[in-house]
Amino acid sequence: MKIVVVEDEPRIASFLSKGLKAEGYAVHHAMNGRDGLSLVMNGGVDLMVLDLGLPDMDGSEVLRKLRQVGEQLPVIILTARGEIADRVEGLELGADDYMTKPFAFDELLARIRARLRPRGDHGAVLRVGDLKLDTRTRRAIAAGQEVDLSAREFALLETFMRHPGQVLSRAQLLSRVWGFDFDPGTNLVDVYVGYLRRKLGSGLLETVRGSGYRLLAPAES
């Protein structure tokens, strides 16, 4: 399990790195937000511990950028005591948990373990309603029938199925399915949503005007 620690105070960074390494985690440390972001973008990171007060950009800015590109890894924020406004802001930006400094290492460890516990999607099969996606064999089954999907269609559907009921913007879908360098003005996402609707029925993916698309959760579809 790989953890990125973004913390500019050497004493705290070293305390965290040593402690987490002793627990068997691979720890990568960044002194500032930019380096922290690029460590995550390089891939293979399971969790981020993120200080809010950083020299180049605020921790909340780091979190915002991560979520903007659809990066869903768990993020535990470290805040100075009493930064309540930051806590609220962090929650809205999609942080998973908080620790107020000074903190007990064991408590942080417990929270990291809780966030790294396998979630429902750790099996290779994703299910939403009567739709089943086997990410290992790359097979899609809808209402008991196998559906033939192209690689992009599969990747797009997988992204929706990992976030059922959640609105995903075109930018998020583009970066997740096609990579970061695509022209945000392209209509690729709309075209591929159209392909999926044709193959899987028009009611599955809802257009949220001005925001993007969402996969209707089973109770709604």
Q: Which residues bind Ca ion (CB under 5 A)?
A: 8, 51, 53
Q: Which residue is nearest to Ca ion (CB)?
A: 53
By C-beta, is 54 or 173 nearer to Ca ion?
A: 54
What single string gives the DSSP state of each residue in the chain? -EEEEE---HHHHHHHHHHHHHTT-EEEEESSHHHHHHHHHTS---EEEEES--SSS-HHHHHHHHHHTT----EEEEE-TT-HHHHHHHHHHT--EEEESS--HHHHHHHHHHHHS--GGGSSEEEETTEEEETTTTEEEETTEEE---HHHHHHHHHHHTSTT--B-HHHHHHHHT-TTS-TT--HHHHHHHHHHHHH-TTSEEEETTTEEEEPPTTT-
- What is the nearest approach in angstroms of Ca ion to the Cβ of residue 88? 19
By C-beta, is 7 or 153 nearer to Ca ion?
A: 7
- What is the nearest approach in angstroms of Ca ion to the Cβ of residue 115? 21
- What is the nearest approach in angstroms of Ca ion to the Cβ of residue 51? 4
By C-beta, is 10 or 201 nearer to Ca ion?
A: 10
- What is the nearest approach in angstroms of Ca ion to the Cβ of residue 27? 17
By C-beta, is 8 or 97 nearer to Ca ion?
A: 8
